[in-house]
Structure 1
Amino acid sequence: MKKLAVFALLILFTSPGFAQVKIHSHNDYTHEQPLTEAYANRVYEIEADVFLIQDSLIVAHSKKDKNLTRTLGSMYLSPIAQLHKDKSTKYGFCLMIDIKDNWDLTYPALRKEIEKYGAIFDRSEHKNAIQIVISGNRPADSTFHSYPKWLFFDGLPNIRYAKKDLKRVTMISDNFATYCKWKGNGEIPTADKAKLKKIIDQAHLLNKPIRFWGAPDTKECWQQLHDLGVDIINTDKVSECKTYFEQHK
């Protein structure tokens, strides 16, 4: 916990202008310092893939990589709760939980874990709460509104969400490769830019930010997506991405 406290202090030196660019820490659990690097860089969202194994929520990229000691609670929920005891450094980011197993089986275990911590994960209780966002295997979008008030969802393009369900959608996300095969060097082809811009504009008409996963993780791509209007930059290079945008305001 001492290491967590040191990293928490680093966010006090975050540039005020950085809020203009939102960063999604992709596959955070594979980083050398899961959670702490992303937290220190004050990212908008932190992602963890979760499997249900023996009634436990295990953080892993695949079941082949499973380590039963790497639970959602030990890697994220408990450390976040510890960090939130320090009122001078906490901030309200999103924790995206990518559900890799059956939703109906995983949800009861997830709800039990999250609700142990009360208002820490309930933004309706206080503005700096961590917002839980579900991606991967989700329930039917017509049921989003029926879940506890602390639970939100990663949206998909081209879905006509009912108004009450859209309120639970925090963003629109999609696979970059669906629209573009560009590898991240030079310029995105004009025709592909048009395809990307169409999806970006659709998300903005819903008053939702947009994120593309699977995009080239290069400075050229970060900048060009930002220029197209992408609100949330998906990256595995959190510190580098933050520094880049601080230097290119």
Structure 2
Amino acid sequence: MPRPSRRTVVTALGTAIAGGLAAAAPTSAWATAPAPAARGAATPRAAAAGAGTRTAATAAGTRAAVTGTEAPLRRAHAHNDYEHPRPLADALAHHFTSVEADIWLVGGRLLVGHDPWDLRPERTLEALYLDPLLARVRRGGGWVHPGHRVPVQLLIDIKNRGEATYRELDRCLRRYREMLSVATSGAAHLGAVTAVVSGDRAARAPMEAQRTRHAFYDGRLEDLGGAAPASFCPLISADWTKTFSWQGAGPMPAAERARLRAIVGEAHAHRRRVRFWATPDTPGPARDALWRELVAADVDHINTDDLPGLEAFLRAHDGERR
């Protein structure tokens, strides 16, 4: 049976929610098929190759969860975090300081998922992220990682209806303002959690029009030389595969290394952070080589689906900048 379009699925789910059927999952044949493997998941061979470091990192994460002694990893970003068995909790157990959630506006709710057929009425942004983060902040003396005054970034990728979705997101975030970073009259004030809006570019106009915001904007490379201040656009994100040809095999070409460092240098000069998506994520020498270059260039967020793998790498190599 052909899979319905995204619009059809979102509309149908919205109708179900509006009609009081929120507890019911879609009933078409395609909806009951086995879910696809998580995006970026390693093959069995690759998983075996990285098993040792993941096992060690998992043990370390378990100890840290009990003792609270491990420092948060300032570069660690959980790509599509909601696809892990325990959204948010798994990333925080590995001491990540940035997590990514894709959202869809459906029937007045902000549902989390990569595609419409992944959406479930109970998997809202509030249930998976905002409520657990607020609970941790209240328990942790005002911070997500107890004993560490390190903010956590919640990267919110808008998947549909950019302007309308942002307006609903803005209403939602106001209820959690006690833990959120805020921008008022062009000045940013740091909180325990910094919400950054990515995805659909139509969210930009309503954000720019606000005097007070509880979210910030995820810019692109073309924003590096733009007029928007870091208090509006503190993050610059780019697709690695459309920016560089090197994928970690052999030495990084000198011209590409120079470009990477120039991008980071310009961003940092204007108090912006840098993230690349679509970097290689299969465990092995190529990924390690690329991650080493990102650390050496002082890239702020390293994207991964492999939480224990990145934790182990950063514990071993994040002091090796050159």
The answer (yes or no) to whether the contact 2:144–2:152 under 8 Å persists in 1 is no
Q: Tell me how far apart the structure 2 counterparts of residues 173 and 69 of structure 1 sit (CA, whole Å).
A: 30
The answer (yes or no) to whether the contact 2:218–2:235 under 8 Å persists in 1 is yes
Q: From 235, 245, 252, give the equivalent of 1:181.
A: 245
Alignment partner, residue 83 of structure 1: 136
Alignment partner, residue 236 of structure 2: 172
The two structures have a TM-score, normalised by structure 1, of: 0.84
Query: Which shifted more, 65-74 or 179-188?
Result: 179-188
Q: 1:185 is paired with a residue of what secondary structure?
A: coil
Q: From 290, 302, 309, give the equivalent of 1:240.
A: 309
Unaligned runs of 5+ in 1: 1-5
Alignment partner, residue 74 of structure 1: 127
The answer (yes or no) to whether the contact 1:24–1:46 under 8 Å persists in 2 is yes
Q: Tell me how far apart the structure 2 counterparts of residues 35 and 11 of structure 1 sit (CA, whole Å).
A: 19
Q: Tell me how far apart the structure 1 counterparts of residues 189 and 222 of structure 2 sit (CA, whole Å).
A: 32
Q: Tell me how far apart the structure 2 counterparts of residues 228 and 62 of structure 1 sit (CA, whole Å).
A: 33
* 2:300 paired with 1:231: yes
**Cα offset for 1:7?**
9.7
The answer (yes or no) to whether the contact 2:102–2:158 under 8 Å persists in 1 is yes
Q: Tell me how far apart the structure 2 counterparts of residues 194 and 117 of structure 1 sit (CA, whole Å).
A: 41
- Cα deviation 1:58-92 (Å, max 9, x = unaligned): 11111122222211111111111221221356342
Q: 2:139 is paired with a residue of what secondary structure?
A: coil
Partner amino acid, structure 1, of 2:301:
I
The answer (yes or no) to whether the contact 1:8–1:83 under 8 Å persists in 2 is no
**Cα offset for 1:96?**
0.6
Partner amino acid, structure 2, of 1:90:
V
Partner amino acid, structure 1, of 2:314:
F
- Cα deviation 1:4-23 (Å, max 9, x = unaligned): xx9994471214xx65x511
**Cα offset for 1:226?**
1.4
Q: 1:77 is paired with a residue of what secondary structure?
A: helix
**Cα offset for 1:228?**
2.6
Q: Tell me how far apart the structure 1 counterparts of residues 216 and 108 of structure 2 sit (CA, whole Å).
A: 22
Q: From 165, 171, 178, give the equivalent of 1:119.
A: 178
Alignment partner, residue 3 of structure 1: none
Q: Write the mapping of 1:152-231 to structure 2, written as runs, cut at 5 A.
A: 152-159=216-223, 160-163=225-228, 165-217=229-281, 218-231=287-300
Alignment partner, residue 56 of structure 2: none
Q: CA RMSD in A?
A: 2.7
**Cα offset for 1:197?**
3.0
Partner amino acid, structure 2, of 1:162:
A
Change (3 A) 1:13 1:158: same
Unaligned runs of 5+ in 2: 1-61, 146-150, 282-286
**Cα offset for 1:110?**
0.9
**Cα offset for 1:142?**
9.4
Q: Tell me how far apart the structure 2 counterparts of residues 198 and 141 of structure 1 sit (CA, whole Å).
A: 29
